[in-house]
Every structure is written in structure tokens, then in C-alpha cells.
Structure 1
């Protein structure tokens, strides 16, 4: 028994790199996947960059709502750039090795930016709440200084906790295998490789998920419950439709992001399936950033108007 434990520890100490299996189970589709992911990455970069630029240069979009939207679009570019370039590299070279420090860095940035996205979505819902439920005081409440503070807090708020969680996860011994059955270094598949009892680590992941996903989501629901109650009191159907249209885009992004992320991180390790995890991970890592510019552009008259002015000027 002691010999087995010593051998396991020696094996754990020799692991210096992981292997990201990604989509290796479908070798015949590697070229197709590379093309699809390249197109998706370009759509995300171009679409979100467009929103960031147009909200900066168009005078009609100099409002808190579009200030936060520009931050969100910039965040989406950073968020997807943590995972997609590595996916493309692995598919193109078929070299799926990643060093343990590189894996830890990818996990840390992914978690930090994911926390920032949760906070920023909550801030955007608060902005809509003030605009609809307290319109007379909106310019005073959502003044430029407060908007900047809320944005900075969203970007930086999750850094200390997520660095701590990353250090905790990667301080574990990995002795069963070094093959991560995922397309990036995510916590659930990494915990599966750890030796011994990881219940404390699972509890930590669960508590952090509550802090950075469940709490912002509950704040968003609270904001929208107030918004819906206020909108239903509006005297005209036109006013109700206009109010709901400014919120529907944000709500769609919220449910895409939080729904898939919650399912992934709130389940115990024993119930995780690699295939299901990959599907849900695709939603909050790739699908949401890709649809963000489409959702906000086509459902927002101000953005469409700014685009028309820009095209006519050109």
C-alpha cells in the first residue's frame, strides 16, 4: 500500500505538461473545425470591435448604457482570446501538449474574465433598472464617475479570488493521467485528474460559482422584476414595447451565459460528462461572444442608426 502511494506521488511529481484532447475523437473533421473556429473568431473580433468603436465615436451613443456595452464587447474579445487561439493552434499543429504553468495561466485568466463578465452583466441590468424605474434621476445616479467605478470594479473585482482558486487547484497532485478531456484548461476536467479526495476543492469551486455567478444572476433577476413591474404600469403599449426592447437583448445574453456556466460549475465532479461539459462550455466561451454583437446590433435602433450614419459618411 505504501509502495503504491509513493509511486503515485512520484508520478504526480513528474507531470510537467497536460494534453488537451479537445476534439481529437473526430479526426476526420479537424480541417472543418479549424475553418469554423477561425470564422467564429473573426466574427467575434470584428463584431465586438465594431460595437466598441461605434459607441465611442457616435455622439448619439454617449450614454451609460453604451459605455457599459463597449466595456462588455471589449471584455468578450479578451475572454474568447484566452481559449480560441489555443484551440486553433492545437487543431492546426495537432500538438495538444500544454505545460502545467501555461495551463494554470489560461485557467486563471479564463476565471478572472468570466467573473468580470458576470459582474458587468449585473451592472448593465442595474443601469437599465435606474433608466426605466427612476428616469428623472438617471443622469445624476449614473454619472460618468460612477460609471467608470462600476466598470473598473467589474474588471478587477474577481482577480484576487480567482488567483487564489487557481493556485489551490494547481497545487493538487495529478497522478491518474495528464490527459484533459476538454478543449481548454477548465476546472472540472482538471479536478478529474487529481489524486485523492478533492471534495474540499469541489466545495471551493461551488462557493466561488455562487459568489461570481449565482449572486450576480440573482441581482439581475431582482433588477428585472422591478423593471417588469414598472413597465406594466406604463399607460401605452408603445411605451411598454420600447422599454422591453431595450432589455430583451441584455436578457438573452444573460441567459445564454449564466445558464450554461451554472450547469457546468454547479454539478459535482462525479456527474460531469466530458462531452456534455464541452457542449455547455462552447456556449459561454464561444457562442455568447459571437452572438453578442448580432443581438445588440439588430435589436437596437440607436446602434442601427449609428451604423447607417457611418456608412453614409463613408
Structure 2
């Protein structure tokens, strides 16, 4: 009898822990997004969509897929549960950090919605920090906000001497709305730039590579993976994948990441074109691919 009772108690405790875990995982998203609300989130984080555009719009569909790919979510172009949960978490974290950095009154609610209050708070933060006042959480805005937070603004009741946060692994550090460090390093390597895959993007060879990329495409030579640089890289990789899809007549999806499939497709083109087969889309390879794609079209 005692064993049965202990077993029942254990079962109840396990169920209670599972429920508590589930509640915490779903706590940020209080409800499903409407299409307009989710498009506002995408717009607020810098994806190239226009508020009020329907979900069936091709640009919105691509933005959702890019969002899902960036955050390693199921990629189907729909507002599936993991996609909504991730969006809710990102907006809530942004609002929380703005509250810590700015102490607005009233404070942002820490909700899942990127509405007028959040947009105005982002714009005010940008104005105060001499950034372009867009109300969009751009890379520069995100980096400045993180700088302020990491400079140890204490929460109420916490000691004023900050405890240095544990830095995430270099390979997973988010650097903007399109890429994290791993993703952007893969783009540089895939396009033929000389960077060390084990080093962060502030490593001297990586800084030189980024400056070379920026110079080639007429960007400000900051040596950082800033938002204009990321956006140009995304265009280059999308164009590369589109040309590969045209020339190889495969079903390659058009997104801005240089993954194993991209590398394999580049190898296939290099083999067909009699080029050195290494899976690296240098400027020479891309130029020949572009010329071939034009003839095919």
C-alpha cells in the first residue's frame, strides 16, 4: 500500500513538473498572432515587409521562411507554434531590455506585440543614442542596447557591482536580424574570403575580409557585419542560389544562408564548367555562373 502511495505521489510530482515546464515555455505567448500582428513583428525586426501586407504575399512568405531559418525553426512559411513562440520571446526580451536601459514611464509590458508603444520606445532609444530614428530594432540598435545592458545596469534590489555575464559560444553569438556569427562566417568562407572558421568576427583576418566585401559593394568600410553589410550579403547569396537553381534546374530554395546544399550545388556547377571543384563561390565563379544563367534564361 505504501509503495502504491509513493508511486502515486511520484507520478503527481512528475506531472506537476511537466505542467510547470510547459507553462513557463508558453508563458511569453499569451495568444496566437493575427497575420497583421506577426507582420508587424517581422517589420519591427527589420525584415523587408510592409505592415498590413497579407501573409500570402511572396515577400511576407519569404520573410517568414528567413525568420524560421535564422532561428532553426521548422521552415514552412506558416505561423506554426515554434515560430510564434520565438517571435514572442524576441519581442518580450527587447521590451525588457528597453525597460532596463531607459526606465520609461509607463514601462513596456514585456508582451509579444511589436505595436506603437514598442516602436516609439525603440525610436526614442535611437534618438537618445544618435542612431537613425526608425523605430525598427536594427543591428546597430540591438548592439547599442546590448552594450548598455552589458555595462551592468542593475535590476532593483541587485548589487550595484555587476557580475560579468557568461558569454555565449562564439559560434552562436547573434549579430543582427539576418545572421549570427556562424552564419555570417559561413557566407564569407563560401564567397571565398579568407577567415578563420574558429575565430570571432573581430579577428583581424575577418575584419579585413569584411572590409574587402564592403569595398567591393560600395558600402562603408566599417569592418563590422553591420546591417547594410548583412543585407548585401543576403542579396549576394540569394542571387547565387537563384542562379544555381536556374543553371542546375534543381529545386534549391532561395534564402540567404551558405549551407551544405549551397556548397554542393556550387561544386556541381564547377564540375560542369570545368572549374576547380571546391564548393567556394569566388567572384570568378559567380561571374561565370551569372553569365551561364543569363544564357539559360
TM-score normalised by structure 1 residue count? 0.27
Of the two, which has the highest radius of gyration? 2
**Bigger proportion of residues as helix:** 1
